[in-house]
Structure 1
Amino acid sequence: MSDLSATSRTRHRRLREQGRTDREDLFAVLRAGFVCHLGVVADGDPMVVPTVYGFDSNHIYLHGSVASRSLTQDATVCVTITHIDGLVLARSVFEHGVNYRSAMIYGVPRALEDEEKLAALECLTEHVAPGQWDYARRPNRKELAATIILAISLEEASVKIRQGPPDDADDPHDVWAGVLPLSTSWRQPVTDPLATRPIPDHVMRRAETPL
């Protein structure tokens, strides 16, 4: 597996010790979440939009309405994913920080059609809720026509990870210092009052899977 690219936009300049070059670190960040932030310039103004995603070994897939201004196809966009693992509370406020895992992806989106579009929708659905593609009704022609699916290459990407205690162990100020961990977990599924079926096994498995 190749290393991550080191372009002028993805090269680690500050806090290089937090940078990662192994492509598997990118996949680990992508696997750990399902919401990204898409940064674009729309009608001359910057815009950052949260949206769900799916991915494979070569692309990240985003979806939305064909009328969306944020889903541009003719210019470079920036996609970011961030997971917060804890607050780093140091001896001095200057050294406070955050333990995190993050990825930044640059690319020019490509709109998918026909079989590619359907395959990307399946990829996205299965990333968010494994098993749901074969369980729920799939999109019909009208719904597909109203939806745009963008593929963005993972070729140009950057990953940074910060872990561990504060960096000011040599500070003589006598106060507590350490990490306040943060974790996210699924809760028990809440059934739609109009639903007549029991909760399916794949949803229960998702609820029991740590994020």
Structure 2
Amino acid sequence: MSNRRRDPGKLMGKRLGQDLTASKDTISDKIKKRFHRKHGFAERFFDNQLDIHFANEYVKRSEFDEDIKFTNHISRSTDRAKIDSVKKLFLDANAIDTDGTEVQLTDPKIEKCIGLYYQMDDEDKDNVFKAHLTLSSDNESGVRVFGIASLRETEDKAKLSIKIVVIDLFHLVIPSRYNGYSKEEAERVNFNQNRSNRICISSLIEN
């Protein structure tokens, strides 16, 4: 096999708004299965050791941007499940390997939020996904994590790599309808409720 990069965006096959939770497969499971079906690699060619990491250390810090209505600063009143799930992520990046969806950059805000932490190239833009942090199988924290996936072939293995680029505590990267609010109303409410937060998420890193 040659040492070339595959297109995991095509392999993931799910689009924004389609739920992967109907299956118990994780993001990496979905990619691997599609990679197997598309390219016909035998099971022995898959490297089961995932390379999940932060794109850079700055991703572990909070950002605030009034223009695009984004913040991931926390306060003393921030929900405990959110705090605990971010702590869990800082201890083990594999915490993101849960259910999730592929993301199409149809809204410029998504790319702008990612751009606060990481500058994407054209290939990266095809391979963005979001995952949901959970504390247990039945306890979703409401924290979304955005990452960029890639599949690389070495001489004898196909390896999945995921780099984490944004931690979104308040559903501000891709606002969602909830409690009767439209996406736009939910974005405004969530941003205004948290715009005064001043504690950086880096304070949750355990030494």
Q: TM-score range by the shorter chain?
A: under 0.3
Higher strand share: 1
Structure showing greater radius of gyration is 1
Higher relative CO (Cα under 8 Å, sequence separation at least 6) belongs to 2
TM-score normalised over the length of structure 2: 0.28
